[in-house]
Chain A
Amino acid sequence: MLEIISSQWPSLLSGLWNTILCSVIALIGSLIIGTFFALLEISKYKVIRIIGSVYVEVFRNIPLLVIAMAFFLIVPMYFTKISGFTAGTIGLTLYTSAFIAETVRAGINSVEAGQLEGALANGLTTGQAMRYIILPQAFKVIIPPLGNQFINLVKNSSVLAFVAGFDLMYEGNMIANDTLQTIPTYFIVGIMYLIITLPLSYYMRHLEKKLA
Protein backbone atom coordinates (compact mmCIF):
# COMPACT_ATOMS: atom_id res chain seq x y z
CA MET A 1 0.00 0.00 0.00
CA LEU A 2 2.83 2.41 0.87
CA GLU A 3 4.35 1.48 -2.44
CA ILE A 4 1.24 2.66 -4.27
CA ILE A 5 1.23 5.89 -2.32
CA SER A 6 4.88 6.57 -3.01
CA SER A 7 4.78 5.65 -6.68
CA GLN A 8 1.37 7.13 -7.52
CA TRP A 9 1.11 10.16 -5.29
CA PRO A 10 1.24 12.73 -8.12
CA SER A 11 -1.91 11.24 -9.72
CA LEU A 12 -3.57 10.76 -6.35
CA LEU A 13 -2.87 14.34 -5.35
CA SER A 14 -4.06 15.67 -8.67
CA GLY A 15 -7.23 13.60 -8.31
CA LEU A 16 -7.74 14.88 -4.79
CA TRP A 17 -7.27 18.44 -6.00
CA ASN A 18 -9.82 18.01 -8.80
CA THR A 19 -12.32 16.45 -6.39
CA ILE A 20 -11.89 19.36 -3.98
CA LEU A 21 -12.16 21.90 -6.78
CA CYS A 22 -15.29 20.29 -8.21
CA SER A 23 -16.85 20.04 -4.73
CA VAL A 24 -16.17 23.66 -3.85
CA ILE A 25 -17.61 24.92 -7.14
CA ALA A 26 -20.65 22.65 -6.89
CA LEU A 27 -21.20 23.54 -3.22
CA ILE A 28 -21.25 27.28 -3.83
CA GLY A 29 -23.15 26.94 -7.10
CA SER A 30 -25.79 24.59 -5.76
CA LEU A 31 -26.34 26.73 -2.67
CA ILE A 32 -26.99 29.82 -4.81
CA ILE A 33 -29.08 28.02 -7.44
CA GLY A 34 -30.93 25.97 -4.82
CA THR A 35 -31.85 29.07 -2.79
CA PHE A 36 -33.01 30.78 -5.98
CA PHE A 37 -35.32 27.89 -6.90
CA ALA A 38 -36.57 27.63 -3.30
CA LEU A 39 -37.68 31.25 -3.60
CA LEU A 40 -39.39 30.49 -6.91
CA GLU A 41 -41.23 27.61 -5.27
CA ILE A 42 -42.77 29.89 -2.65
CA SER A 43 -43.62 32.73 -5.04
CA LYS A 44 -47.16 34.08 -4.91
CA TYR A 45 -47.40 33.66 -8.69
CA LYS A 46 -48.48 30.24 -9.83
CA VAL A 47 -46.45 30.20 -13.06
CA ILE A 48 -43.24 30.95 -11.16
CA ARG A 49 -44.04 28.28 -8.57
CA ILE A 50 -44.53 25.75 -11.37
CA ILE A 51 -41.18 26.66 -12.94
CA GLY A 52 -39.55 26.14 -9.55
CA SER A 53 -41.09 22.76 -8.90
CA VAL A 54 -40.50 21.46 -12.44
CA TYR A 55 -36.80 22.26 -12.05
CA VAL A 56 -36.62 20.56 -8.67
CA GLU A 57 -38.53 17.46 -9.75
CA VAL A 58 -36.49 17.02 -12.95
CA PHE A 59 -33.08 17.29 -11.34
CA ARG A 60 -33.75 15.34 -8.18
CA ASN A 61 -35.52 12.44 -9.88
CA ILE A 62 -32.96 11.63 -12.58
CA PRO A 63 -29.83 9.74 -11.54
CA LEU A 64 -26.81 11.97 -11.23
CA LEU A 65 -24.88 9.76 -13.64
CA VAL A 66 -27.49 10.35 -16.36
CA ILE A 67 -27.38 14.11 -15.80
CA ALA A 68 -23.59 14.18 -15.94
CA MET A 69 -23.57 11.99 -19.08
CA ALA A 70 -26.14 14.27 -20.70
CA PHE A 71 -23.95 17.31 -20.20
CA PHE A 72 -20.86 15.39 -21.27
CA LEU A 73 -22.40 14.02 -24.49
CA ILE A 74 -25.14 16.42 -25.57
CA VAL A 75 -23.61 19.83 -24.89
CA PRO A 76 -20.60 19.22 -27.21
CA MET A 77 -22.97 17.96 -29.94
CA TYR A 78 -25.04 21.15 -30.12
CA PHE A 79 -23.28 23.91 -28.26
CA THR A 80 -19.65 23.92 -27.33
CA LYS A 81 -16.85 21.59 -26.46
CA ILE A 82 -16.59 21.08 -22.72
CA SER A 83 -14.27 18.94 -20.64
CA GLY A 84 -15.45 16.00 -18.58
CA PHE A 85 -14.58 17.96 -15.47
CA THR A 86 -16.82 20.86 -16.52
CA ALA A 87 -19.70 18.61 -17.60
CA GLY A 88 -19.52 16.60 -14.38
CA THR A 89 -19.29 19.68 -12.19
CA ILE A 90 -22.28 21.31 -13.88
CA GLY A 91 -24.29 18.10 -13.57
CA LEU A 92 -23.37 17.73 -9.90
CA THR A 93 -24.22 21.38 -9.21
CA LEU A 94 -27.68 21.18 -10.78
CA TYR A 95 -28.45 17.79 -9.24
CA THR A 96 -27.49 18.95 -5.74
CA SER A 97 -29.23 22.30 -6.14
CA ALA A 98 -32.58 20.51 -6.48
CA PHE A 99 -32.10 18.89 -3.06
CA ILE A 100 -30.86 22.13 -1.56
CA ALA A 101 -33.91 23.94 -2.96
CA GLU A 102 -36.16 21.55 -1.06
CA THR A 103 -34.10 21.93 2.11
CA VAL A 104 -34.13 25.74 1.92
CA ARG A 105 -37.86 25.74 1.17
CA ALA A 106 -38.49 23.64 4.28
CA GLY A 107 -36.32 26.07 6.25
CA ILE A 108 -38.27 29.09 5.01
CA ASN A 109 -41.55 27.37 5.88
CA SER A 110 -40.28 26.69 9.38
CA VAL A 111 -39.98 30.43 10.06
CA GLU A 112 -43.27 31.58 11.56
CA ALA A 113 -45.50 33.62 9.24
CA GLY A 114 -45.49 36.55 11.66
CA GLN A 115 -41.87 37.27 10.84
CA LEU A 116 -42.73 38.04 7.22
CA GLU A 117 -45.86 39.97 8.17
CA GLY A 118 -43.94 42.02 10.71
CA ALA A 119 -41.34 42.91 8.10
CA LEU A 120 -43.89 43.76 5.40
CA ALA A 121 -45.93 45.90 7.80
CA ASN A 122 -42.68 47.62 8.76
CA GLY A 123 -42.27 48.75 5.13
CA LEU A 124 -39.83 46.15 3.82
CA THR A 125 -40.38 44.58 0.40
CA THR A 126 -40.75 40.80 0.24
CA GLY A 127 -37.19 40.60 -1.13
CA GLN A 128 -35.77 42.66 1.73
CA ALA A 129 -37.77 40.64 4.26
CA MET A 130 -36.29 37.43 2.79
CA ARG A 131 -32.76 38.77 2.83
CA TYR A 132 -32.65 40.34 6.27
CA ILE A 133 -35.22 38.37 8.27
CA ILE A 134 -36.46 35.10 6.78
CA LEU A 135 -33.42 33.52 5.11
CA PRO A 136 -31.03 34.11 8.04
CA GLN A 137 -33.50 32.33 10.33
CA ALA A 138 -34.18 29.60 7.76
CA PHE A 139 -30.48 28.80 7.23
CA LYS A 140 -29.92 28.51 10.95
CA VAL A 141 -32.54 25.78 11.09
CA ILE A 142 -31.33 23.84 8.06
CA ILE A 143 -27.62 23.65 8.84
CA PRO A 144 -27.76 19.94 9.79
CA PRO A 145 -29.59 18.79 6.61
CA LEU A 146 -27.46 21.15 4.56
CA GLY A 147 -24.38 19.46 6.02
CA ASN A 148 -25.75 16.14 4.81
CA GLN A 149 -26.22 17.57 1.34
CA PHE A 150 -22.67 18.87 1.25
CA ILE A 151 -21.18 15.56 2.36
CA ASN A 152 -23.27 13.75 -0.24
CA LEU A 153 -22.06 16.25 -2.78
CA VAL A 154 -18.39 15.46 -2.09
CA LYS A 155 -19.04 11.73 -2.39
CA ASN A 156 -21.21 12.20 -5.47
CA SER A 157 -18.39 14.08 -7.16
CA SER A 158 -17.00 10.61 -7.91
CA VAL A 159 -19.41 10.71 -10.86
CA LEU A 160 -16.63 12.64 -12.59
CA ALA A 161 -14.81 9.33 -12.99
CA PHE A 162 -17.42 8.27 -15.57
CA VAL A 163 -17.05 11.38 -17.71
CA ALA A 164 -13.24 11.59 -17.68
CA GLY A 165 -13.19 14.29 -15.05
CA PHE A 166 -9.75 13.34 -13.64
CA ASP A 167 -11.02 13.35 -10.07
CA LEU A 168 -9.92 11.15 -7.19
CA MET A 169 -12.12 8.24 -8.23
CA TYR A 170 -10.94 8.46 -11.84
CA GLU A 171 -7.29 8.39 -10.78
CA GLY A 172 -8.06 5.51 -8.44
CA ASN A 173 -9.56 3.51 -11.31
CA MET A 174 -6.50 4.20 -13.43
CA ILE A 175 -4.07 3.16 -10.71
CA ALA A 176 -6.06 0.03 -9.95
CA ASN A 177 -6.02 -0.94 -13.62
CA ASP A 178 -2.32 -0.23 -14.04
CA THR A 179 -1.04 -1.85 -10.87
CA LEU A 180 -3.76 -4.51 -10.40
CA GLN A 181 -3.56 -3.57 -6.68
CA THR A 182 -7.30 -3.05 -6.58
CA ILE A 183 -8.07 -3.30 -2.87
CA PRO A 184 -5.19 -1.20 -1.53
CA THR A 185 -5.84 1.46 -4.17
CA TYR A 186 -9.50 1.88 -3.35
CA PHE A 187 -8.67 1.77 0.34
CA ILE A 188 -6.37 4.73 -0.14
CA VAL A 189 -8.99 6.51 -2.25
CA GLY A 190 -11.55 5.98 0.51
CA ILE A 191 -9.21 7.47 3.08
CA MET A 192 -8.64 10.47 0.83
CA TYR A 193 -12.38 11.11 0.58
CA LEU A 194 -12.51 11.06 4.37
CA ILE A 195 -9.82 13.73 4.40
CA ILE A 196 -12.33 16.02 2.70
CA THR A 197 -15.59 14.94 4.30
CA LEU A 198 -14.57 14.65 7.96
CA PRO A 199 -13.43 18.28 8.33
CA LEU A 200 -16.55 19.37 6.43
CA SER A 201 -18.73 17.38 8.77
CA TYR A 202 -16.89 18.76 11.78
CA TYR A 203 -17.22 22.31 10.49
CA MET A 204 -21.00 22.01 9.95
CA ARG A 205 -21.41 20.76 13.51
CA HIS A 206 -19.33 23.63 14.76
CA LEU A 207 -21.47 26.09 12.79
CA GLU A 208 -24.62 24.52 14.18
CA LYS A 209 -23.39 24.98 17.74
CA LYS A 210 -22.13 28.46 17.09
CA LEU A 211 -25.46 29.71 15.71
CA ALA A 212 -27.69 27.83 18.14
Chain B
Amino acid sequence: MSMIEFHNVQKYYGKFHALKDINLTIDAGETVVLIGPSGSGKSSLIRTINGLDPIRDGQLIVNGFDLADKKTNVNLIRKDVGMVFQHFNLYNNKTVLENIMLAPRIVLKRPEEENRELAMQLLKKVGLENQAEKMPAQLSGGQKQRIAIARSLAMKPKCLLFDEPTSALDPEMIDDVLDVMKDIAENSNMTMLVVTHEMGFARAVADRVIFMADGRILEDDSTAKFFDDQPSTQRARDFMSKISGH
Protein backbone atom coordinates (compact mmCIF):
# COMPACT_ATOMS: atom_id res chain seq x y z
CA MET B 1 0.00 0.00 0.00
CA SER B 2 1.36 3.39 -0.86
CA MET B 3 1.81 6.03 1.80
CA ILE B 4 2.80 8.93 -0.45
CA GLU B 5 2.04 9.41 -4.14
CA PHE B 6 3.20 12.31 -6.29
CA HIS B 7 1.63 12.54 -9.74
CA ASN B 8 3.08 15.23 -12.01
CA VAL B 9 3.48 17.64 -9.12
CA GLN B 10 4.64 21.19 -9.85
CA LYS B 11 5.61 23.71 -7.22
CA TYR B 12 6.55 27.36 -7.59
CA TYR B 13 7.93 30.03 -5.28
CA GLY B 14 6.66 33.09 -7.11
CA LYS B 15 8.06 32.57 -10.60
CA PHE B 16 10.72 30.11 -9.50
CA HIS B 17 9.83 26.57 -10.58
CA ALA B 18 10.96 24.63 -7.50
CA LEU B 19 9.52 21.18 -8.22
CA LYS B 20 9.20 19.96 -11.81
CA ASP B 21 7.02 17.00 -12.86
CA ILE B 22 7.52 15.05 -9.67
CA ASN B 23 6.30 11.44 -9.90
CA LEU B 24 7.08 9.34 -6.89
CA THR B 25 5.46 6.60 -4.87
CA ILE B 26 6.58 5.63 -1.39
CA ASP B 27 5.08 2.51 0.12
CA ALA B 28 4.03 2.17 3.73
CA GLY B 29 6.95 1.01 5.84
CA GLU B 30 9.62 2.03 3.37
CA THR B 31 12.68 4.03 4.37
CA VAL B 32 13.67 6.39 1.59
CA VAL B 33 16.61 8.78 1.56
CA LEU B 34 16.47 11.90 -0.54
CA ILE B 35 19.79 13.43 -1.57
CA GLY B 36 21.00 16.11 -3.92
CA PRO B 37 22.81 19.44 -4.04
CA SER B 38 21.41 22.41 -2.15
CA GLY B 39 18.67 24.18 -4.02
CA SER B 40 17.68 20.97 -5.78
CA GLY B 41 14.20 20.91 -4.25
CA LYS B 42 14.66 18.20 -1.59
CA SER B 43 13.31 20.33 1.24
CA SER B 44 10.54 21.73 -0.95
CA LEU B 45 9.46 18.22 -1.82
CA ILE B 46 9.39 17.00 1.75
CA ARG B 47 7.55 20.13 2.93
CA THR B 48 4.72 19.59 0.45
CA ILE B 49 3.98 16.18 1.95
CA ASN B 50 2.51 17.57 5.18
CA GLY B 51 1.15 20.69 3.51
CA LEU B 52 3.66 23.17 4.96
CA ASP B 53 4.23 24.29 1.37
CA PRO B 54 1.40 24.13 -1.16
CA ILE B 55 1.75 22.60 -4.61
CA ARG B 56 0.67 24.42 -7.76
CA ASP B 57 -0.32 21.51 -9.99
CA GLY B 58 -0.62 17.77 -10.09
CA GLN B 59 -1.85 15.32 -7.51
CA LEU B 60 -0.31 14.54 -4.13
CA ILE B 61 -1.90 11.80 -2.06
CA VAL B 62 -0.66 11.23 1.48
CA ASN B 63 -2.12 8.53 3.68
CA GLY B 64 -5.20 8.49 1.45
CA PHE B 65 -5.79 12.27 1.51
CA ASP B 66 -5.48 14.42 -1.59
CA LEU B 67 -3.40 17.51 -0.77
CA ALA B 68 -4.26 19.21 -4.05
CA ASP B 69 -7.91 19.25 -3.00
CA LYS B 70 -8.66 22.48 -1.12
CA LYS B 71 -11.37 20.71 0.88
CA THR B 72 -8.86 18.31 2.42
CA ASN B 73 -8.30 19.04 6.10
CA VAL B 74 -4.53 19.12 6.24
CA ASN B 75 -4.58 18.55 10.01
CA LEU B 76 -5.84 15.02 9.42
CA ILE B 77 -2.66 14.36 7.44
CA ARG B 78 -0.37 16.02 9.97
CA LYS B 79 -1.77 13.87 12.78
CA ASP B 80 -0.28 10.83 11.08
CA VAL B 81 2.73 12.40 9.38
CA GLY B 82 5.37 13.79 11.72
CA MET B 83 8.22 16.07 10.74
CA VAL B 84 11.69 16.66 12.14
CA PHE B 85 13.34 19.92 11.11
CA GLN B 86 16.90 21.01 10.57
CA HIS B 87 16.56 23.63 13.30
CA PHE B 88 14.50 21.41 15.65
CA ASN B 89 11.68 23.93 16.17
CA LEU B 90 11.06 22.85 19.75
CA TYR B 91 8.55 25.01 21.60
CA ASN B 92 10.76 27.55 23.37
CA ASN B 93 8.13 28.34 26.00
CA LYS B 94 7.61 24.72 27.09
CA THR B 95 9.66 22.22 29.03
CA VAL B 96 11.02 19.14 27.27
CA LEU B 97 8.23 17.00 28.68
CA GLU B 98 5.57 19.55 27.68
CA ASN B 99 7.03 19.70 24.17
CA ILE B 100 6.32 16.00 23.84
CA MET B 101 2.96 15.96 25.64
CA LEU B 102 1.29 19.04 24.13
CA ALA B 103 0.11 17.77 20.75
CA PRO B 104 -1.06 14.33 21.97
CA ARG B 105 -3.03 16.13 24.69
CA ILE B 106 -4.80 18.71 22.55
CA VAL B 107 -4.91 16.97 19.16
CA LEU B 108 -5.37 13.32 20.14
CA LYS B 109 -7.00 14.00 23.54
CA ARG B 110 -4.80 11.31 25.05
CA PRO B 111 -5.49 10.88 28.79
CA GLU B 112 -2.94 12.73 30.93
CA GLU B 113 -1.47 9.73 32.73
CA GLU B 114 -1.03 7.66 29.59
CA ASN B 115 0.40 10.71 27.82
CA ARG B 116 3.01 11.27 30.52
CA GLU B 117 3.96 7.61 30.62
CA LEU B 118 4.48 7.45 26.86
CA ALA B 119 6.43 10.72 26.87
CA MET B 120 8.78 9.38 29.55
CA GLN B 121 9.21 6.13 27.61
CA LEU B 122 10.13 8.10 24.52
CA LEU B 123 12.58 10.24 26.47
CA LYS B 124 14.21 7.05 27.68
CA LYS B 125 14.29 5.72 24.12
CA VAL B 126 16.23 8.80 22.96
CA GLY B 127 18.42 8.68 26.08
CA LEU B 128 17.25 11.93 27.67
CA GLU B 129 14.93 10.86 30.47
CA ASN B 130 16.81 13.02 32.98
CA GLN B 131 16.16 16.20 30.93
CA ALA B 132 12.36 16.12 31.19
CA GLU B 133 12.00 19.35 33.17
CA LYS B 134 14.61 21.37 31.26
CA MET B 135 13.76 24.15 28.83
CA PRO B 136 14.89 23.73 25.18
CA ALA B 137 17.37 26.60 25.54
CA GLN B 138 19.28 24.56 28.14
CA LEU B 139 19.95 21.68 25.74
CA SER B 140 22.61 21.03 23.11
CA GLY B 141 21.65 20.76 19.45
CA GLY B 142 21.90 17.00 19.44
CA GLN B 143 19.71 16.77 22.52
CA LYS B 144 17.18 19.15 20.99
CA GLN B 145 16.95 17.05 17.87
CA ARG B 146 16.42 13.86 19.82
CA ILE B 147 13.63 15.61 21.77
CA ALA B 148 12.13 16.75 18.47
CA ILE B 149 12.12 13.14 17.27
CA ALA B 150 10.49 12.03 20.52
CA ARG B 151 7.90 14.78 20.09
CA SER B 152 7.03 13.46 16.63
CA LEU B 153 6.93 9.84 17.82
CA ALA B 154 4.52 10.75 20.61
CA MET B 155 1.84 11.29 17.97
CA LYS B 156 2.34 7.63 16.91
CA PRO B 157 2.61 8.66 13.27
CA LYS B 158 2.45 6.33 10.31
CA CYS B 159 5.10 8.34 8.51
CA LEU B 160 8.02 10.51 9.61
CA LEU B 161 9.65 13.18 7.47
CA PHE B 162 13.20 14.31 8.28
CA ASP B 163 14.37 17.57 6.73
CA GLU B 164 18.17 17.57 7.09
CA PRO B 165 17.98 16.51 10.73
CA THR B 166 21.74 16.54 11.33
CA SER B 167 22.87 19.47 9.16
CA ALA B 168 22.82 21.99 12.00
CA LEU B 169 24.62 19.77 14.49
CA ASP B 170 28.19 19.63 15.71
CA PRO B 171 29.91 16.54 14.26
CA GLU B 172 30.13 14.69 17.55
CA MET B 173 26.38 15.08 18.10
CA ILE B 174 25.37 13.64 14.76
CA ASP B 175 25.75 9.97 15.63
CA ASP B 176 23.45 10.18 18.64
CA VAL B 177 20.69 11.47 16.38
CA LEU B 178 21.40 9.01 13.58
CA ASP B 179 21.35 6.12 16.06
CA VAL B 180 17.84 7.10 17.16
CA MET B 181 16.74 7.30 13.52
CA LYS B 182 18.30 3.93 12.71
CA ASP B 183 16.48 2.42 15.64
CA ILE B 184 13.17 3.74 14.31
CA ALA B 185 13.89 2.50 10.80
CA GLU B 186 14.84 -0.96 11.97
CA ASN B 187 12.37 -1.51 14.79
CA SER B 188 9.16 0.02 13.57
CA ASN B 189 7.09 -0.20 10.43
CA MET B 190 6.90 3.55 10.07
CA THR B 191 7.40 5.07 6.65
CA MET B 192 10.46 7.32 6.69
CA LEU B 193 11.55 9.91 4.19
CA VAL B 194 14.89 11.46 5.07
CA VAL B 195 16.59 14.42 3.40
CA THR B 196 20.23 14.11 4.38
CA HIS B 197 23.87 14.31 3.36
CA GLU B 198 24.82 11.43 5.66
CA MET B 199 25.75 8.79 3.10
CA GLY B 200 26.76 6.22 5.70
CA PHE B 201 23.30 6.47 7.21
CA ALA B 202 21.64 6.25 3.80
CA ARG B 203 23.59 3.17 2.89
CA ALA B 204 22.91 1.42 6.17
CA VAL B 205 19.24 2.20 6.56
CA ALA B 206 17.55 3.18 3.31
CA ASP B 207 15.54 0.85 1.10
CA ARG B 208 15.73 3.36 -1.73
CA VAL B 209 17.73 6.42 -2.65
CA ILE B 210 16.28 9.31 -4.58
CA PHE B 211 18.57 11.86 -6.16
CA MET B 212 17.27 15.31 -7.06
CA ALA B 213 18.78 18.19 -8.97
CA ASP B 214 17.24 21.42 -10.30
CA GLY B 215 13.78 20.55 -9.03
CA ARG B 216 13.63 17.14 -10.74
CA ILE B 217 14.00 13.57 -9.58
CA LEU B 218 16.93 12.21 -11.59
CA GLU B 219 17.43 8.89 -9.86
CA ASP B 220 15.17 6.53 -7.98
CA ASP B 221 17.26 3.49 -7.21
CA SER B 222 17.54 0.69 -4.70
CA THR B 223 20.22 1.47 -2.13
CA ALA B 224 22.38 -1.35 -3.43
CA LYS B 225 22.21 -0.10 -7.01
CA PHE B 226 22.94 3.50 -6.03
CA PHE B 227 25.92 2.83 -3.79
CA ASP B 228 27.37 -0.51 -4.88
CA ASP B 229 26.90 -0.17 -8.62
CA GLN B 230 26.69 3.44 -9.48
CA PRO B 231 23.97 5.97 -10.25
CA SER B 232 22.79 5.94 -13.85
CA THR B 233 22.99 9.69 -14.47
CA GLN B 234 26.22 11.64 -14.85
CA ARG B 235 24.80 14.40 -12.62
CA ALA B 236 24.38 11.97 -9.72
CA ARG B 237 27.79 10.44 -10.30
CA ASP B 238 29.38 13.90 -10.16
CA PHE B 239 27.53 14.69 -6.97
CA MET B 240 28.62 11.45 -5.34
CA SER B 241 32.23 11.91 -6.29
CA LYS B 242 32.24 15.41 -4.78
CA ILE B 243 30.67 14.18 -1.57
CA SER B 244 32.97 11.18 -1.14
CA GLY B 245 35.94 13.42 -1.97
CA HIS B 246 35.60 14.96 1.50
B91 A120 Cβ-Cβ under 8 A: no
CB of B78 within 8 A of chain A?
yes
Would you give the 0/1 interface string for B177-217, flagging 1 where the beta carbon is closer than 8 Å to chain A?
00000000000000000000000000000000000000000
**Interface stretch among B22-30, B79-87, B120-128?**
B79-87
User: A185-203: contact bitstring with B at CB < 8 Å (1 yes, 0 no)?
Assistant: 0000000000000000000
Nearest chain A CB to B52 CB, angstrom units = 6
Segment of B8-16, B102-110, B230-238 engaged in the interface with chain A? B102-110
Among the stretches A1-9, A57-65, A83-91, A111-119, the one at the interface with B is A111-119
B140 sits at the interface (CB 8 A): no
Number of contacting residues on A, CB 8 A? 17
**Which chain A residues lie closer than 8 Å to B78 at the CB level?**
120-123
Nearest to B87 among chain A residues (CB) is A114
CB-based contact B90/A118 at 8 Å: yes
User: Which of B50, B82, B88, B102 sits near A132, CB closer than 8 Å?
Assistant: B102
Contact B89 A124 (CB under 8 A): no
Q: Is A136 an interface residue (CB 8 A)?
A: yes
Chain A residues within 8 Å of B155, by CB: 122-123
Q: Are B151 and A122 in contact (CB under 8 A)?
A: yes
Whether A122 touches B92, Cβ cut-off 8 Å, given contacts A114-B87, A128-B106, A132-B102, is: no
The DSSP consensus for interface residues of chain B is loop
- How many residue pairs bridge A and B at CB < 8 Å? 59
Residue B152 lies at the interface, judged by CB distance under 8 Å to chain A: yes
Q: Does B75 contact A (CB under 8 A)?
A: yes
Instruction: Give the residues in chain A near B106, CB-CB below 8 Å.
Output: 124, 128, 132
Complex contact B91–A121 (CB within 8 A): no
Residues of B within 8 A of A128 (CB): 106-107
Q: Is A156 an interface residue (CB 8 A)?
A: no
Among B52, B79, B82, B92: residue with most chain A CB under 10 A: B92
Q: Which parts of A22-80 form the interface with B (CB within 8 Å)? A: none
| Residue B93 interfacial (CB < 8 Å) | yes
Q: Which B residues are CB-close (under 8 A) to A122? A: 78, 82, 102-103, 107, 151-152, 155
Q: By the criterion CB–CB under 8 Å, are B91 and A133 in contact? A: yes
Do the beta carbons of B50 and A118 come within 8 Å of each other?
no
Q: Does A182 contact B (CB under 8 A)?
A: no
Q: A125 within 8 Å of B by Cβ?
A: yes
Do the beta carbons of B93 and A137 come within 8 Å of each other?
yes
Q: Which residues of A contact B108 (CB under 8 A)?
A: 123
Complex interface: chain A residues within 8 A of B79 (CB): 123
Instruction: Give bound CA distance, A80 to B186, whole Å.
Output: 72
Which of B75, B85, B152 is the one whose CB lies under 8 Å from A114?
B85
Report how far A132 CA is from B98 CA in the complex, Å: 11
Partner of B91, one of A118, A123, A125: A118
Q: How far is the CA of A136 from the CA of B93 in the complex (A)?
A: 7
Residues of A within 8 A of B148 (CB): 118
Say yes or no: B89 contacts A117, CB within 8 Å. Answer: yes
Distance A132 CA – B94 CA, assembled complex (angstroms): 9
A123-B78, A128-B106, A132-B106 known; A118 and B85 CB under 8 Å?
Answer: yes
Contact: B102 with A118, CB < 8 Å? no
Closest Cβ of chain A to B227, distance in Å, is 30
Interface centre among A122, A125, A136, A137 (most CB of B within 10 A): A122
Contact of A115 among B83, B92, B103 (CB under 8 A): B92
Give me the 4 closest cross-chain CB pairs, A-B, nearest first: A118-B89, A121-B83, A114-B89, A123-B107
